[in-house]
Amino acid sequence: MWIYEKKLQYPVRVNKCDPRMAKFLIEQYGGADGELAAALRYMNQRYTVPDKVIGILNDIGTEEFAHLEMIATMVYKLTKDATAEQMKEAGLGDHYANHDKALFYHNASGVPWTASYIQAKGDPIADLYEDIAAEEKARATYQWLINMTDDVDLIDSLSFLREREIVHSQRFREAVEILKADREQKKIF
């Protein structure tokens, strides 16, 4: 069960129309290393990992949904006042033809999200290493996105998200150590 809170995790202050940047940000909405992939990956893996690390996946997965909402807010605000012509100029003509200005789960190039982006191996070490890699890839993507804008407010929100990837990666690394220590203890006793 989830409870919705009518607030963003961190403010998204966007007051300008910039469909070009929105097109790039969509990478973190429906791309391979985006927030949807992260949330669905962890939420699905949590059923079959050892009890000691379920909470880590559950809670980070939940936070990813809050990040998905932040990215959606950025895209929504950057495109809401755009004309069809501006969408076309920004390279979003293909998107507009199919979706108007509705958001959709695809990457910056318009490739729809697919479950083949994520894995659940039934092996907790394999799963957690994938999760660490996912966080590092998302961190890198946020940096590339930050490099493409000079909007200080947008950079502020993207920097927050970039930092969260670092923290999540750290927690997953600790989860690996917890499982390793557990395994060692079982060998000794």
* CA gap 151, 189 in Å, rounded: 57
Q: Six-digit token pair at 28?
A: 């973190």
Indicate the residue among 56 and 118 with the shorter CB distance to other proteins.
56
Minimum Å gap between C-beta 119 and other proteins is 22
Q: According to CB under 8 A, which one of 73, 119, 149, 159 is a site residue for other proteins?
A: 73
Distance between CA atoms of residues 48 and 98, nearest Å: 38
Does the protein bind other proteins through residue 63 (CB under 8 A)?
yes
Among 17, 43, 146, 178, binds other proteins (CB under 8 A): 178
Binding to other proteins by residue 56, rule CB under 8 A?
yes
The stretch among 17-25, 26-34, 72-80, 93-101 that binds other proteins (CB under 8 A) is 72-80
168 binds other proteins (CB under 8 A): yes
Q: Does 59 bind other proteins (CB under 8 A)?
A: yes
Residue 106: phi and psi, rounded to 5, are: -140, 170
Rounded CA-CA distance 174/178 in Å is 6
User: 100-129 in b/e burial notation, b at 16+ Cβ within 10 A?
Assistant: ebebeebbbeeeebeeebbebeeebeebbe
Distances (CA, A) of 127 to 108, 130, 167: 26, 5, 18
Work out how close the CB of 160 gets to other proteins at its nearest, in angstroms, rounded to a whole number: 9
Contacting residue, 25, 26, 36, 72, with other proteins by CB under 8 A:
72
Residues 67 and 161 sit within 8 Å (Cβ to Cβ): yes
CB of 9 or CB of 88, closer to other proteins: 9
Q: How far apart are CA 41 and CA 184, in angstroms?
A: 27
Chain residues binding other proteins by CB under 8 A are 3-12, 55-56, 59-60, 63, 69, 72-73, 76-77, 167-168, 171, 174-175, 178
